Chain A
Amino acid sequence: MPSLKMTLRFLVPLALLIGAGGIGYALGWWQQVAVQIVFWQGEFYHALVEAVSALKRAPDATAWGVLLGVSFGYGVFHAAGPGHGKVVLSTYLASQGGAWRRALGLSVLAALLQGVMAIAIIGVLVFGLGWLTRQAMGSIDQAELASFAIVTLVGLWLCIRSLRRLWRTRHNAGVAATTSFSSTFTPVTTAGPAPGHSSPGPMAPAHRHAHGAHGAQCGCGHEHHIDPQQAGDWRVALLTVLSIGIRPCSGAVLLLGAASLLDQFGKGVVAVLAMSLGTALTVSSLALLSVLARDWVKRHLKPARGGGQWQAWVGLAGGALILVLGLSLTLAQWQRGPAAGPPMLGAPTAQQSDPAPGPFGAGRG
């Protein structure tokens, strides 16, 4: 009996989910969790500083283990707070399609890129150009602005792409357009796994197109024969990764800077990479969740006709959301000026050419 089945499979879980969410919100659970996370972040930072100092005193296996564990934990909880990167990635995945392996690939790439950017900032600006660590930390502001600008670009791109698709659906009658959609969006088929693919597990949507999954891992895509639509898809996916990964965590940059001042740069690099893995864990969990949610909604709400058009509308909505987010973040950053720094010495200034007149003013430095 379809109506009963529909009720059981769709309405009951939905009601349960909304109910649980509502109760949780009413009881202030998520606020409590958020505040707890802030406390933990503080404690992890303390532990991190202590771990680096301990490793400097006695570089034994225990000290290494503590450093790796603490760095990993710092990464997990640092990423657990709200941030624009996670909103962009989950909106992108939820609205643009993509299999769980792509979700995983993109999140891990973004998290690792963040760590690599921190290493690059200290490596290039401090070691290479002779900046002070505090000035290098000031450059995170520019990285952040770049990140927001790229978010805007991603949103714009997605909007244009979806609009083009909608326009084409209007003008080419149905069939051809639908084919184009199914090759562009990594599709969630109702037909089950394609022959030759082992089942990707209960949580994974079936996917019949190998390009997406492969590309998510190598990030290249160029060696496949792919149509321009899909190339665009990959460019925008990598742009999404860039928008998230280009801004390193200032905690990571400070850690690396301080570690190098203590002649422990290598240990700092290891710690930052462990941190990235922790971040990757959190971000990919969130990404998988949004893919799961999307597939669940899709399975139960798939309209009988105009599926491709529906997809394009969802894609447009997601793109618009990312575009608005990117614009508002960019504007806010513009108006705000330099980010908060320690109140004692004000925000460090990043200087392109001459690091001499430091944050302490002219004549000293």
Chain B
Amino acid sequence: MGMLLGASPAALAHPHGWVDMSVEGVFDDQGNLTALRQRWRMDPFYSQVVMEEMATVKDGTSMAQRLDALGVEIRNNLATQHNLTNITLDGQPVTQGDVTDTNTDYRDDRLVYEFVLPLSAPQPLAGHTLSYRIFDPTYYIEMVHEANEDGSQPLPDALKLDHPPAGCTTRIVKATPDPQKVMEAAMLDKGENGEPNLGRFFAETGEISCPA
């Protein structure tokens, strides 16, 4: 019965929306990685309901101002959740700085949120691999790199490098969730709001590697 109860309350969350994201690794003149520039495109339906809200604002502001304010709102919300971004260097956690250069826009029926997530210190990558995973822990929103029409392959532009040292390469690794672990998490591992934290099992991994 314990299993029954544990499994029953909406044990397997599933996405109710998605974000198409593209990421750019930003390097400084010394060839150190300084930041991950990200662009998130919200799915058309979620974009619609947010824009409905934007349209009802009657305080005399322009749409551009409202979108800016929305961007601030989103930035503040995400700041409490590590910007949904998890960064490691050769498996060791890398700390983040504060998000800068946010921009919110409505293009082609999609709400687009752009920002720069700096690393707390510039990171030399020669001979190292930096990995990041961007995901909503509750898996309410599915975060995926921009992909081709049927979603099977990430687009080359989904992970780019800005002024990288010669020979640096990128790779996007699809999620291969271990069913056993997913189910264990679904039954035991509850996040702050009581939802199982399944997002990490379904997160793609982006990798930036530079030659030694």
Residues of A within 8 A of B (CB): 28, 31-32, 34-35, 37-39, 41-43, 45-46, 49, 52-53, 78, 81-84, 87, 132-134, 137, 250-251, 254-255, 257-258, 261-262, 321, 324-325, 328-329, 332, 335-346, 358-361, 363-365
Contacts and interface: CB of A to CB of B under 8 A. Distances in A.
A133 B46 CA distance: 10
B49 A134 contact: yes
Given A343-B84, A344-B78, A336 B193 contact: yes
22 contacts: A28-B180, A31-B180, A34-B179, A35-B179, A35-B182, A37-B12, A41-B14, A43-B151, A45-B15, A81-B11, A82-B7, A84-B9, A134-B49, A251-B16, A258-B45, A261-B48, A337-B193, A340-B193, A342-B16, A344-B78, A359-B53, A364-B66
Contacts of A346: 77
B51 to A, nearest CB: 8
Contacts of A43: 151
A53 B138 CA distance: 27
A21 B136 CA distance: 34
Contacts of B17: 45, 254, 342
Contacts of B4: 87, 321, 325
A107 B51 CA distance: 37
Interface residues of B, number: 59
B49 A261 contact: yes
A38 B11 CA distance: 11
B155 interface: no
Interface string B49-65: 11111001111000000
Nearest to A148: B9
B30 to A, nearest CB: 34
A255 B16 CA distance: 10
B10 A83 contact: yes
A137 B52 CA distance: 13
Given A31-B180, A364-B57, A343 B14 contact: no
A321 B17 CA distance: 34
A336 B74 CA distance: 23
Interface in B68-82: 69-70, 73-74, 77-78, 81
B139 to A, nearest CB: 8
Contacts, number: 162
B194 A336 contact: yes
Contacts of A250: 16
Given A34-B183, A255-B45, A262-B48, A342 B9 contact: no
Contacts of B56: 132, 358, 365
Contacts of A324: 1, 5
Given A31-B180, A81-B14, A341-B140, A133 B52 contact: yes
A342 B49 CA distance: 12
A32 B18 contact: no
Nearest to A261: B48
Contacts of B58: 365
A338 B193 contact: yes
A292 B77 CA distance: 50
B18 A45 contact: yes
B45 A254 contact: yes
A344 B45 contact: no
Contacts of B10: 81-84
A34 B182 contact: yes
A212 B191 CA distance: 44
Given A345-B77, A360-B73, A254 B14 contact: no
B140 A82 contact: no
Contacts of B78: 343-344
A294 B58 CA distance: 60
Contacts of A81: 10-12, 14
A84 B45 contact: no
Interface string B89-116: 0000000000000000000000001000
B44 A258 contact: yes
Contact of A328 (B5, B84, B142): B5
B45 A49 contact: yes
Contacts of A360: 53, 69-70, 73
A28 B179 contact: yes
A87 B16 CA distance: 23
A211 to B, nearest CB: 31
Given A81-B10, A363-B59, A365-B53, 15 more contacts: A38-B198, A81-B14, A84-B8, A87-B8, A134-B49, A134-B52, A254-B17, A254-B46, A261-B48, A325-B5, A340-B195, A342-B141, A343-B78, A343-B141, A344-B141
A151 to B, nearest CB: 10
B12 A34 contact: yes
Contacts of A335: 194
Nearest to A262: B48
Given A31-B183, A345-B50, A340 B12 contact: no
B154 to A, nearest CB: 15
